[in-house]
A and B are shown apart, each in its own frame.
Chain A
């Protein structure tokens, strides 16, 4: 059972906007930055969003992140078939001497 809670699945049609939520607590999301990763089957995760809402160079501005209180969200606008992947949220958790914690992942299907 993951410390951060994500919906196991999400879906949308091409061109739509979809959001993926990530829920935590005061010891993790509530007091630390949130990061988002995109992972295609059989490959390493790729950093998509850092420090809640920042995009690394090369990540399209169709991807955006936000955080409010103990929850965070990843939004993907203008959905494309190539966005079909697993998405994970990550943050630092201040409990138990500190540790990185992941969400369980959300499988995004483009219909």
Chain B
């Protein structure tokens, strides 16, 4: 049974870089059938797609975050990561990692439990 687990600091200072890692267990991140995604949810608000990455490193970013965003993959560790720079309080959210089928392109079928990141000094 494939499982995803987010990890990283729960508190980040304004203007700094938010860094999170998602560890994939029970399956390989190097599958040619799936993208690996980041999605976030501000407290009490709705969901926002952040971006996707394929095991080869090709990626898709939400245009609204693209200038601050880097998503990378480490197949040797079965992990993918998120870096969001110049954060503000508006980036405070629960961050989820998820899997989405590649072909045909389908939405997220497996999710991590989520991790709360608070941006505050």
* A→B interface (CB under 8 Å): 2, 33, 35, 37, 43-47, 50-51, 56, 88, 90-92, 96-105
At the interface, yes or no: B111 with Cβ under 8 Å from chain A?
Answer: yes
What is the minimal beta-carbon distance from A9 to any residue of chain B, in angstroms? 13
Given contacts A44-B113, A105-B47, 7 further A-B contacts (CB under 8 A): A35-B108, A37-B47, A46-B111, A50-B107, A99-B60, A102-B49, A105-B46
> Which residues of chain B in 75-102 are interfacial with respect to chain A, using CB atoms and an 8 Å cutoff?
96
* B→A interface (CB under 8 Å): 37, 46-49, 52, 60, 62-63, 96, 105-109, 111-114
A33 interface neighbour in B46, B47, B48, B106, Cβ under 8 Å: B106
Total cross-chain contacts (CB, 8 A): 55
**Complex: A12 Cα to B66 Cα, angstroms:** 41
**Which residue of chain A lies nearest to B4 when distances are taken between CB atoms in the complex?**
A44
**Complex: A33 Cα to B113 Cα, angstroms:** 25
- Cβ A44 vs Cβ B106 within 8 A: no
What is the minimal beta-carbon distance from B108 to any residue of chain A, in angstroms? 7
- Cβ B46 vs Cβ A51 within 8 A: no
Nearest 3 interchain pairs by C-beta:
A100-B49, A44-B111, A35-B107
What is the minimal beta-carbon distance from B90 to any residue of chain A, in angstroms? 14
